[in-house]
Amino acid sequence: MSAHLLVLECGPATSIQDAGRFGYQRQGLSPSGPMDALALAAANALAGNGPGTAALEFALSGGRLRAVGGAVRLALAGAPFGLRVEDEPVADHRAFTLYEGAMLALAAPRRGVFACLAAAGGLDPPAALGSRAFHRRAGLGGLDGRGLRAGDRIPVPAAPGGPERALGPLPLDADEPIRVVLGPQDDRFTRTGLDTLLGSAFTVSAQADRMGVSLDGPAVEHGPEGFNIVSDATVFGSIQVPGSGRPIVLMADRQTTGGYPKIATVISSDLRRIAQRRPGETVRFQAVSVEEAVRLARERAGLIAALPGRLVPVSTREERLMAANLAGAAVDALGDALGP
Amino acid sequence: MPSPIRLLVCADTALTVELGDDIDRDVNAAVLALERRVLSARLPGVVETVPTYRSLTLHIDPAVADPGELGPAVLRLATGEPPLPPPCRGWRVPVVYGGAHGIDLDAVAGRHGMSPAEVVARHCASEYRVFMVGFLPGYAYLGGLDPRLALSRRPSPRPSTPAGTISIGGRQALVASVAAPSGWHLLGRTPVRSFMPGRDPVFLFEPGDAIRFEPIPASEWDDLDRAAAAGETVARPA
């Protein structure tokens, strides 16, 4: 049974993202994929999907969607977007049904930037080069190679119902340092430049999007060889420093190669920290070892793999309370046993 | 004397193997050879590889492999038996030079004390090698420019240059695939789409491919551009 989500309104940076499109960086195409991979995995776990299933990614702006042609099961994770179904509030990090014809509204978040809205069975537009992830510069993925706009219809499997499940909130870590490993071109900076990177407070500038996050703050000083290198490859998290000395963190839709030296690289488990910082918010960097970065990446991979087991069956509690009420006995004792 | 190999770690997600620090055909050939060895070795955790002018980057899944620990295995590959020379594909790429298609041709000619026709002749005389496809999808960076055409970049980049732009910067030549800002000198434009979603193949040029440019009159632009838009490669295998 095919249903779809009709987009009534959305911000300009709303897009469809899945785990990403790998294998084409040698052709100049960066993988795209979620800015907050944990948010995508959590939303998908709530919806009963695998962690990299295609979902909607919202950035700073909310929107309105309507279920057409059938009911769909949805769940949002990431920045708190203030969900309402037909004007009734719905908690984040909880699966819910959007009945046929019902409208879901997302309010712009006051904290964080990105959230993912997953649908049971996954969003199902045609894939491009093996992925549904939208890449703006390439005009690939998403819906017909473009971002979302009002009037779009996103194919999604109809799902009349499903288990009521919730997850604890994902901390946005707004005050935590962004951990980096120095290099690959830290030798192209002076001691002062390295100290500036690791000892200063930077601010996320207005130039922050899926390609890169440009930082305001003290200039990071290059060494005597200057700020041009023979271009080499970038990664999600490369911190390149152009001639201005203002660092730019390269993100999911980045250029695949670059000719500015990269002073450090954000570790993969902290990419969501930098992604979720809003323009004007503070960024501090902290250096860690490669071993520590790998350890944290494996811890994150373990957490993502364990997400389905961490789902809390919310409605079971309500049903059991209801059953207890009907039985007319021991409501308080049952409440104690279930906990908060 | 080859420069020593440098291993550069990019946090937990990549390892860059630097084989030199110059833009050079032999260094680039060594990069592509190393890529072939890395791919055939099927090292666990290596998600994809990116050859550039003088280095090879291995993108790594840190849940499977530790980029700090992959170094010795990669070094063994880099110093192992020389592999078969990579297969070299050749392309003939039609270009409309000058005028609205190449707005910097006359200025480049003036800077070099040549006629525009001589610049075109020299640009077409070289066999280029694709050293790197990067920055944006399908952007082909070429080595092999006639040294007499070399010219440092423009002082201020243009905010937008069209898809298909054929340009030079320093000692390099470029085939641009999508519209983008550029500080290079625009000699002409090709109707060839080196990147075209929905066409098979989506990407035309591979690192290591050989490319020659062929001048065509502006009157042929519309027909070739229409054919390319319909999905023809337009570039002919050489």
Residue A238 has a pLDDT of 98
Q: CA-CA-CA-CA torsion for A102, A45, A140, A33, nearest 10 degrees?
A: 130
Is residue A338 scored above 80 in pLDDT?
Answer: no
DSSP B117: H
Q: Taking CB atoms and an 8 Å cut-off, how many pairs form between chains A and B?
A: 152
Query: Lowest-confidence range among A159-163, A177-181, B14-18, B167-171?
Result: A159-163
Which chain A residue shows the shortest CA-CA distance from B194? A27
Q: CB distance A233–B16 less than 8 Å?
A: yes
- A22: tokens are 């790998």
A149 at interface of B, judged by CB pairs closer than 8 A:
no
Q: How far is A335 from chain B (nearest CA, A)?
A: 41
How far is it, in rounded angstroms, from Cα A292 to Cα A123?
A: 35
The pLDDT assigned to A315 comes to 59
Cβ of A26 and B9 within 8 Å?
Answer: no
Inter-chain contact B52–A233, Cβ cutoff 8 Å?
yes
Q: What is the ipTM score, two decimals? A: 0.94
In this structure, which amino acid lies at residue A80?
Answer: P
A251 touches A210 (CB < 8 A): yes
Mean pLDDT of A221-250: 95
Compute CA distances B144 → A72, B22, B98, B129, whole Å: 57, 14, 21, 6
Closest by Cβ to A257, choosing from B18, B49, B52? B52
Tokens at residue A283, please? 């960024």
Residue A277 makes CB contacts below 8 A (sequence gap 6+) with: A113, A174, A204, A208, A213, A283
Task: Tell how strand A282-283 and strand A202-208 pair up.
Answer: antiparallel
- Please say if the pLDDT value at position A280 is more than 60: yes
Sheet containing strand B6-10, strands side by side: B6-10, B14-18, B55-60, B46-51
Phi/psi region, residue B57 (left: phi>0; alpha: psi -120 to 50; beta: rest), is beta
pLDDT in tens, B52-101: 999 999 999 999 999 989 999 999 998 766 666 666 899 999 999 999 99
pLDDT 10s digits, B157-198: 899 999 999 999 988 899 999 999 899 999 999 999 999 999
Could you tell me which of A276, A141, A148 has the C-alpha nearest to residue A208? A276
Closest CA to B58 of B74, B40, B72: B74
Do the beta carbons of residue A76 and residue A117 sit within 8 Å? yes
Q: Which of B54, B96, B210, B50 is nearest to B142 (CA)?
A: B210
pLDDT at A62: 96
Shortest Cα distance, chain A CAs vs residue B115, angstroms? 31
Q: Does the predicted TM-score (pTM) go above 0.80?
A: yes
- Residues in A touching B47 (Cβ below 8 Å): 22-23
Inter-chain CB proximity A231 and B53 less than 8 Å: yes
**CA–CA separation, A182 and A266 (whole Å):** 9
Of the candidates A285, A311, A315, the one whose C-alpha atom is nearest the C-alpha of residue A194 is A285
